[in-house]
Structure 1
């Protein structure tokens, strides 16, 4: 058992490396799939009880529905069931490397006032868009050094971080959208996504200033801290323009680790990378478990839909602005009650794809559902982090952002109806 634990980080890293090799068709996707599941088994003991329950339910329902559909003559391929989310996991491993580029200055005082609110709100989104969840802990741990993390600090961190889902190619939400909205061209959702994310920053900044009257302790951000995230985002856009045949997801899998190794500041790259693989990568078990389980679950739903086409026949419907708005509202409410966005997306996708929706609209729907629900719920991963680590009650998180979720839902519906 100890030997398996020691190999966990290498299973995780192998998922990324062999996925990239499978893209070149030099090996089968079976190998990265086996490594992903091996990593999941090795990391299972690290999951919180609530995460184990959620994953077990997803897998149990998924397996039961697959077997039931099989009895009706509908069988899904092993790639659909076990490997559908492997590309997304490879991307998650790749962006995890960017944690090696983050740094903090513990000696600088916490800034105050309107500029501190705006700079913190914008910075957590820009940094979080690339470095992901570790940024929340860096910001929150530093900001609560002077006082306990306040509800206003919490809403700034969660909303701003989650809003990066609208536009960041490094966000897991983008990987989900690319998989569950087949044919989606990420650059087409970039402009409306950036607009939504910026409005989220302005809305949150104004509300935080109104609630605190400027008595707010922000994060002492340095301009150079923004260099790597902006550099990588521009690099992805540039390389995708040059090599359009290479998907955004594959580009991120290549660029994120490569840029990290080149730009990381350390006395010994070898020691830092070894510590990262052996100690940091084994900590992402919840993501592996959730996304692998969601793959089984979503294919179970798809199999049931294929088994009973007469009950799921949506030929009389079109993917209209009204349907977009209704589905988005349902997905946001699902997030508020604790259903992870990837699960609601996995349910919605097989229901909506037969309508032949515009992939830009469908992708925007999924990104919006992720951005709003993750930033408003106390029961998804981001909210649970705030509750467990910083002792912000779940009801406070939901109450803090109920009006925000309503406003952004209406705005997304408007953007979709008018511009998309």
Structure 2
């Protein structure tokens, strides 16, 4: 165990490296799977008690479901149970490298007014689309008053950040959608996703200005801070156009670390990278635990559904706009009350796939559920961060964004018809 803890960061990095090698079929996916679970064991002690409870329950329920389905003659493969989310973990590790390109400037005064709100919302969405969760911390730490972040600052940051899930190929939500909606074409969700992301920013900016009368301290955005996110996004699009057979997820796993090594601003790349591997990567235990547990849980649910097809027979339904609207509403509701989007997606996918839905439309459903629930809930990742670190009550977070969740749900249902 001590050996595992000492080399935790290298197990995490090895998960990414061996996954990319397994894509070439030179090695089995068993090797990155073993490293991922080894890293999970090593990082378990660092998890918060609430995270341990959630992950433990997911594993227990999933394991019991798998054993029960097995007693009925339905067995899942080890790859389905233990390795289904390895691609997402590899992507998460790759994107984590981008933390090294993120520097906070504390020398300038905080801007105020409508422009400050708009720039903050756009900045956290664009930067967060590539650099992910660390951007929320950078923005919030710079914007907060001596005591805490204001509720208005909170919803501008969380809604705008979460709405990047609609369009960013670097968001974990995209990896989830690509996995649970097989055949999804990310490029086709880009335009409607951008529409949703822009509307989310406009909605939150207008509301924040109305509530604060312009007395809002935002984040000082500079042009150079947007270079890396835009560069990476364009690189993904370009390379996917040149090599369409390489998936978006694999491209991100390759490009994010490579771009970081090339663009990192430091006196010693080697020292910065070693510090990152040894100290930063071992801190992502909650993501590893959640995604690995979700793989067991989702396949347990899938096995039960396969064991009792008559109970989950949706042959009388088609994946039409009304069903899209109903399922999305249900996923948003369970997300707001604390069920992580990856769990609701894992449950919905095996029930909807037998309907032979358009994969891209199904993927847009999953992206929408993630973006809206993550931006509105006080009990999943972003909300818990705001509650624990900035003392914003869960009830305040939820009540501040209920109307936002309803509005974005309606808009998703409308956008779904003409675009998808």
The farther-off stretch of 346-355 and 138-147 is 138-147
Distance 1:82 1:382 in 2: 26
Q: How does 1:19-418 map to 2 (within 5 A)?
A: 19-145=19-145, 148-418=148-418
Assess if the C-alpha contact under 8 Å between 2:4 and 2:39 holds in 1.
no
Deviations 1:154-202 (A, max 9, x none): 0001000000000000000000000000000110100000000000000
Query: Cα distance, 1:2 vs. partner?
Result: 3.2
**Equivalent-residue separation in structure 1 for 2:136 and 2:406 (angstroms):** 24
Query: Cα deviation per residue 1:34-59 (whole Å; 9 max; x = unaligned)?
Result: 00000000000111111111111110
- For these two proteins, the number of residue pairs brought into alignment is 420
C-alpha displacement of 1:417 = 2.4
1:418 Cα shift?
Answer: 3.1
CA distance in 2, matches of 1:220, 1:310: 57
Give the Cα separation in 2 of the matches to 1:378 and 1:105. Answer: 29
Considering only aligned residues, what root-mean-square deviation do their CA atoms show, in Å?
0.7
Per-residue displacement from partner, 1:71-122 (whole Å, max 9, x unpaired)?
0111000000000000000000000000000011111000001100000000
Q: Name the structure 1 match of 2:12.
A: 12
SS of the residue corresponding to residue 392 of structure 1 reads: coil
Q: Structure 2: how far apart are the matches of 1:139 and 1:416? A: 32
Take 1:197 and 1:397, find their aligned partners in 2: how far apart are those partners?
Answer: 20
Q: Which moved more, 1:139-148 or 1:216-225?
A: 139-148
CA distance in 2: counterparts of 1:397 and 1:148, whole angstroms: 14
Distance 1:276 1:173 in 2: 24
TM-score normalised by structure 2 residue count:
0.99
Quote how far apart the aligned CAs of 1:147 are.
Answer: 6.0
Residue 146 of structure 1, CA deviation: 5.5
- The C-alpha deviation readout for 1:302-357, integer Å capped at 9, x for no partner, is 10011001111111100010000000000000111100000000000000000000
Rounded to whole Å, the distance in 2 between the matches of 1:195 and 1:220 is 25
Listed as ranges, the gaps of 5+ residues in structure 1 are none
Q: Deviations over 1:351-394 (max 9, x none)?
A: 00000000111000000000000000000011000000011100
Q: Say if 2:4 and 2:38, in contact at 8 Å, map to a contact too.
A: no
